[in-house]
């Protein structure tokens, strides 16, 4: 990379950061996301009752209302709800990230190949992704997750399987547009191989729409993970996944409302943060969406 290109990129970044900072909501989103990520990293260690996270129970202290000792109360097994929510952050964030990354990798590959190869390959790959888009994603993910059996990894794979077509379409469209650029013609004239052109010249130029979509999808992926947990497919107790926590504590409402409300609120705050951040990033990186 030449010096001129590097400094131009640096300038664009600085300008983007300036625009991002102008919006209070984007900054709030960034702050929430940083907090969620920090809790995802240290959550299990700062949990006040680490024993409960590992599955330990304390039946003498079942269903204690929120207090100083237990800010979020305790559940039907006497476990500290705050500890479970903190530890659950890592599971939800990791699972959400897993879904988005897997979906992006596979979708980008399919979209890039379809757009770059064109013709027959394009037709087959795109009809396949149309098909996936027609089947309701949640039902597909549920069916695959149930067939694969319980477990975090199986659930991530099941959701990612219904996740990639969006990326495939996006990347295909971008690749089709970039393919006609002069620099691609130049690279081809020098004798660069199709793979080199794709990975070295085309893909780096379509990173920003993909990143925007990833950040917009992150909240939705966390939501889908929690949905499967709530239905009872996917992660099983005692793994403290937010949706699973909510589904178990549902039966103890209204008297022991705190067992359901706090995991739900954690979910909402995390998803809201990622959505605010995604919206802010889109405004900065995608000039077409700016109004």
Partner 1 sequence: MLRFVLRRLVLVLPVLLGMTVMMFIIARLLPGDPVALAAGPNATAAEIAAYAAEFGLDQPVTVQYWRYLSGLLGGDFGVSIFSRRPVLDDLLTYLPATLELVLAAMFLAVVLGIPAGLAAAVWRNRWPDYLGRVAALAAISMPRFFLGLLLQLGFAMWLLWLPLGGRFPIILEPPPLVTGFLTLDALIAGDGTAFATACRHLAMPAIAMCLSPLATIMRMMRASTIEVLQQDYVMTARALGLPARQIVFKYVAKNAVSATLTVIGLYFGWLLGGTVLVETVFDWPGLGLYATQAIVSQDFMPVIGVAMVIGLLFVLVNLVVDLLYGVINPKVRYS
Tell me which residues touch partner 1 (CB under 8 A): 25, 127, 130-131, 134-140, 142-144, 146-149, 219, 223, 226-227, 230-233, 243, 246, 250, 253-254, 257, 260-261, 264, 267-268, 271-272, 275-276, 279, 291
**SS3 state at 74:** strand
Q: Which is nearer to partner 1, 73 or 243 (CB)?
A: 243
Residue 29, Cβ density class (10 Å: 0-12 exposed, 13-18 middle, ≥19 buried): buried
State the nearest-atom distance from the C-beta of 135 to partner 1, in Å: 5
State the nearest-atom distance from the C-beta of 244 to partner 1, in Å: 12
Residues 6+ apart with CB under 8 A from 87: 43, 44, 47, 53, 240
State the nearest-atom distance from the C-beta of 151 to partner 1, in Å: 12
Query: Phi, psi (5° rounding) for residue 74?
Result: -125, 160
Q: Which is nearer to partner 1, 44 or 219 (CB)?
A: 219
84 with 52: CB under 8 angstroms? yes
Q: Which two tokens stand for residue 238?
A: 């005692």
Q: CA-to-CA distance for 266 and 83, rounded, in angstroms? A: 12
150 with 235: CB under 8 angstroms? yes
Q: Which is nearer to partner 1, 44 or 243 (CB)?
A: 243
Q: Which is nearer to partner 1, 132 or 179 (CB)?
A: 132
Q: Which is nearer to partner 1, 27 or 57 (CB)?
A: 27
State the nearest-atom distance from the C-beta of 17 to partner 1, in Å: 21
State the nearest-atom distance from the C-beta of 211 to partner 1, in Å: 19
């Amino acid at each position: 990379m030449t010096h001129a290109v590097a400094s131009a990129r640096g300038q664009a970044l600085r300008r983007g950061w300036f625009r991002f900072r102008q919006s209070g909501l984007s900054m709030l989103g960034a702050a929430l996301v940083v907090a969620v990520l920090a809790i995802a990293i240290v959550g299990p260690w700062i949990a006040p009752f680490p024993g409960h996270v590992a599955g330990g129970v304390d039946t003498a202290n079942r269903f204690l209302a929120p207090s100083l000792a237990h800010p979020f109360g305790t559940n039907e097994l006497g476990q500290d709800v705050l500890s479970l929510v903190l530890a659950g952050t890592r599971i939800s964030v990791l699972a959400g990230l897993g879904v988005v990354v897997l979906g992006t990798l596979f979708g980008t590959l399919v979209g890039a190949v379809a757009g770059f190869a064109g013709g027959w390959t394009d037709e087959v790959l795109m009809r396949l992704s149309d098909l996936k888009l027609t089947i309701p994603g949640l039902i597909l993910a549920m069916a695959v997750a149930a067939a694969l059996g319980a477990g975090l990894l199986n659930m991530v794979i099941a959701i990612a399987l219904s996740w990639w077509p969006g990326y495939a379409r996006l990347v295909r469209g971008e690749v089709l547009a970039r393919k006609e650029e002069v620099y691609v013609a130049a690279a081809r004239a020098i004798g660069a191989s199709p793979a080199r052109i794709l990975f070295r010249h085309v893909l780096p130029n379509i990173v920003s729409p993909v990143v925007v979509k990833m950040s917009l999808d992150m909240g939705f992926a966390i939501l889908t993970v929690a949905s499967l947990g709530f239905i009872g497919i996917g992660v099983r107790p005692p793994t403290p996944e937010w949706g699973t926590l909510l589904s178990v504590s549902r039966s103890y409402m209204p008297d022991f409302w705190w067992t359901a409300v706090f995991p739900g609120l954690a979910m909402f705050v995390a998803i809201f943060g990622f959505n605010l951040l995604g919206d802010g990033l889109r405004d900065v990186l995608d000039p077409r969406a700016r109004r």
